[in-house]
Amino acid sequence: MPIKVQSDLPAKKILEEENIFMMDETRAMHQDIRPLQIAILNLMPLKEDTEVQLLRSMSNTPLQLDVTFLTTSSYVGHNTATSHLDKFYQTFADVKNCKFDGLVITGAPVEMMEFEEVTYWDELKQIMAWSLENVTSTLHVCWGAQAGLYYHYGMKNKKLDRKLSGIYKHHVLMRREPLVRGFDDIFYAPHSRYTEVAKEDIAACEKLLILAESEEAGVFLCMTHDGRQVYVMGHPEYDRMTLDKEYRRDTGKGMEIAVPQNYYEGDDPKSRPLLMWRAHANALYTNWINYLVYQNTPYEWK
C-alpha cells in the first residue's frame, strides 16, 4: 500500500528495508487520486517504535493513505526527542478544523490510573467528542479502547490479579462482519495490560457488537453497529520483539513479572519469540481501512 509520509520520517527507511512500499510527498503529488486522510494519536512512550508498527500494519491495501501523527499538548513525554515531535507531529489544536477518514487512538502506559487522573484526559475527551462528527471511523487500541468505552458508554475498567502478557488464542464470533473477513476460526494476538473491561458490560450495551474473544484474555474486538467506533483490546500491531523488550525492561527494574504466555518456545526467555499473529493483524487493519473507512467515507467532506 502506498502510505504517504514525510520523506525523512525515520520509520519510512525502516519499513522500506522490510520491502514495504512507502510513498514520499513528491510522488504522491503526481497521483491523480484522493488519498485517505488517516490521523494517528500516538500516546505510546516509544513513539518511533509505534510509528513503525502501525504503518507496517496498514501497509497491505492498494489505497493511498496520507498519515498525520498527533500528540497531546497537555502532556509531553520524555522518551521521544522533542525535535522528532516538532518535526513529525501535530496537536489537536492544529487539526481540530480538519476532517479525517480514519483515526487511530493508541494505547498508553497509564492504565493503573483512574481516567480522570491522566494528565491529558480532558484533551483526549475533546478529541473523542470531535471524532464523532469529523472522522468516518475511529480505531481504539488497548488502553485507548478502554478509554473510549469509558468516555462513550461509561464502562469502567477493572484491575486484573496480574499482568496479562503474552500471545493468546481468540475465536471469531461474527464471521459475517467485514472487519473479520478472511479471519480463521481461531487466531492469535498479543496482549499487554493490567486492566480489562468486563465482557458482560460490553455485551449489555446494545450499541456494540463483540466480534472476537479469548477464554483467557476476554473480549478482543468489538465495534458499533455502523463501524464508526472500533475497539481492539490487545496489541495486534506489536512486532516480534515488543513483548520481549517489555519483559526485560520490567525484570530489569526488579519487578516480579511472569514470562509472557505462549510467546517463547518452551517458555524460555532465552529463545527467539515465534511470530504467530502478523497475518491476522494485517487483515484487521486492512479490513478496517477497506470496509469501515474507504467504503463509508465521502469523496468530499462538507
80-109 per-position pLDDT tens digit:
888 888 899 999 999 999 999 999 999 999
Known active-site residue 237: yes
Rounded to an integer, the average pLDDT of 221-226 is 97
Q: Which residue has the cell 522500506?
A: 16
Residue 5 to residues 27, 70, 96, 145, 196: CA-CA distances in angstroms? 11, 13, 20, 25, 34
Amino acid at 137: S
| Interatomic CA distance for residues 289 and 229, integer angstroms | 13
Closest CA to 109 of 49, 199, 58: 49
Taking a C-beta distance cutoff of 8 angstroms, is the pair 37, 43 a contact? no
Q: Residue 298: what pLDDT? A: 84
Active-site choice (140, 170, 235, 280): 235
Active-site choice (142, 191, 213, 280): 142
Instruction: Give residue-wise pLDDT tens across range 13-56.
Output: 665 665 454 555 554 444 446 789 999 999 999 899 999 999 98
Q: Residue 7: what pLDDT? A: 67
| Interatomic CA distance for residues 273 and 58, integer angstroms | 23
What lies within 8 Å, CB to CB, of 142 at 6+ separation is 106, 107, 192, 193, 232, 233, 234, 235
Known active-site residue 142: yes
Known active-site residue 235: yes
